[in-house]
Amino acid sequence: MLNGTPRRVAIIGAKRIPFARSHTAYADLDNQTMLTDTLRGLVDTFSLDGEQLGEVAGGAVQKHARDWNLVRESVLGCGLDPHTPAYDIQQACGTSLEATILVANKIALGQIDSGIACGTDTTSDIPMGANDDMRHALLALNNARTTGDKLKAAAGLLNPRHLVPDMPTGAEPRTGMTMGQHAQVTAKQFGITREAQDELALASHKNLARAYDEGFFDDLVMPYQGLKRDNNLRPDTTLERMAKLKPAFDRDHGTITAANSTPFTDGASAVLLASEEWAEKRGLPVLAYITAGQAAAVDYVDGKEGLLMGGAYAIPRMLARHGLALQDFDFYEIHEAFAAVVLCTLAALEAEGFCRDKLGLSHALGSIDRSRLNVNGSSIATGHPFAATGGRIVGTLAKLLDQKGSGRGLISVCAAGGQAVTAILEK
Q: What is the pLDDT of residues 313-343, one digit of tens each?
A: 999 999 999 999 999 999 999 999 999 999 9
In this prediction, residue 415 has a pLDDT band, given cuts at 50, 70 and 90, of: very high
CA distance 310 to 94: 11
Q: What is the helix (H) or strand (E) element at residue 223, kind and residue range?
A: none
Mean per-residue pLDDT, 237-245: 96
Res 234 pLDDT > 70: yes
Res 169 pLDDT > 70: no
Minimum mean pLDDT range among 73-82, 140-149, 233-242, 286-295: 140-149
Identify residue 112 by its one-letter amino acid code: I
CA distance 384 to 416: 13
Q: What is the pLDDT of residue 118?
A: 98
CA distance 373 to 390: 16
In this prediction, residue 273 has a pLDDT band, given cuts at 50, 70 and 90, of: very high
Measured in degrees and rounded to the nearest 5, phi and psi for residue 182 equal: -65, -45
Active centre residues (catalytic): 93, 384, 414
CA gyration radius, the chain: 22
Cβ-Cβ contacts under 8 Å for 16 (sequence gap 6 or more): 38, 220, 221, 222, 267, 268, 269, 270, 388, 391, 392, 395
Res 165 pLDDT > 70: no
Pairing relationship of beta strands 20-21 and 419-426 according to DSSP bridges:
unpaired
Mean per-residue pLDDT, 358-364: 96
Q: What is the pLDDT of residue 310?
A: 98
Per-residue model confidence as pLDDT tens digits over 170-193? 789 999 999 999 999 999 999 999
Q: What is the pLDDT of residue 130?
A: 62
Identify residue 169 by its one-letter amino acid code: T
Minimum mean pLDDT range among 149-163, 258-272, 372-386, 410-424: 149-163
- Domains (range + CATH), the chain: 9-126+265-281 (3.40.47.10), 179-216+236-260+292-426 (3.40.47.10)
CA atoms lying within 13 Å on the CB side of residue 375? 19
Give the number of other CB atoms < 10 A from CB of residue 189.
Answer: 16
- Is pLDDT larger for residue 143 or for residue 200? 200
119 CA to centre of own chain: 8
Q: What is the pLDDT of residue 303?
A: 85
Q: What is the pLDDT of residue 143?
A: 85
Pairing relationship of beta strands 20-21 and 265-275 according to DSSP bridges:
antiparallel
154 CB-contact burial (10 Å; exposed 0-12 / middle 13-18 / buried 19+): middle
**Residue 255 in contact with residue 340, Cβ under 8 Å?**
yes
- Is pLDDT larger for residue 259 or for residue 164? 259
Res 19 pLDDT > 90: yes
Q: What is the pLDDT of residue 129?
A: 61
- From the list 422, 415, 426, the residue with the least C-alpha distance to 183 is 415
Per-residue model confidence as pLDDT tens digits over 36-90? 999 999 999 999 999 999 999 999 999 998 999 999 999 999 999 999 999 999 9
CA distances from residue 247 to 124, 198, 232, 303 in whole angstroms, order as listed? 24, 12, 19, 21
- Is pLDDT larger for residue 122 or for residue 250? 122
Res 253 pLDDT > 80: yes
Q: What is the pLDDT of residue 162?
A: 64
Which residues pair with residue 57 across a beta bridge? Answer: 87, 117
Mean per-residue pLDDT, 268-278: 98
Give percent of the chain with pLDDT exceeding 70: 95
